Amino acid sequence: MKAPLATAVAIVVGLLVLAGYIVPIPQLLAIRTIVLGWALILVAVATIVGVINLVRVHWLKVTRKEGRDIFSVVFLLAFLATVVGAVWLNPTSPLFQQVIMAIQVPAESSLMAILAIVLAYSSLRLLQRRRGLLAFLFVVSAVIFLFLSSGLLSGADTVWPLKQIILLLNRLPDAGARGILLGIALGSLVAGLRILMGADRPYRG
């Protein structure tokens, strides 16, 4: 086994934190709190390092002699304005939040519109390449939910049969989202168990 000390430390720490959630012993709760506090500090430091590296990469793109990227200039100016505004006004300031939301909401809306177009185009391409029951269901579901989200059936809520059908169809994305969340939870559980057993060692570098 490579790096036995790191593996042993990871297994012991993981078991202690897990035991702190299961066994109501004050000592385990204290250890769990300390370890999670260290983890939060490391995550914060890693985030700061990632932000510094991102700014450095865009700065190099701006200062190079040939092929300067204009979008890097926009990014650096927006980043600088955001940092200065957060420090000057405070992130909880209503004015700062209003300015951020005035920029973020239109950008997210544009991305969602692009996602809808890409989804419709991808469904058609999928039906052309792979003609099967699953591909047909994917295309039909994509068209139906895009049609429902467009608001064209806003007046159909007054008609009893259509109202029940629309309510049933609107519940299907929630069921799918819950299924995806359950899959993510089970995958995370399996990955954590494999790390605790030493089968996976992502900390080796």
Q: For 26-37, write each residue's pLDDT tens digit.
A: 888 888 889 889
Could you report how far apart the first and last alpha carbons of the chain are, in Å?
A: 15
Q: Give dist(CA 112, CA 104) in Å, integer.
A: 12
- CA 192 – CA 64 distance, rounded (Å): 44
200: alpha, beta or left? (left if phi > 0; alpha if psi -120 to 50) = beta
CA count, 13 A, side-chain hemisphere, 46: 6
pTM, rounded to two decimals = 0.62
Q: What is the pLDDT of residues 95-105, one digit of tens each?
A: 888 988 898 88
- 184 vs 134 pLDDT, higher one: 184
Cα–Cα distances (Å) from 144 to 27, 72, 167, 168, 173, in that order, read 55, 39, 13, 12, 12
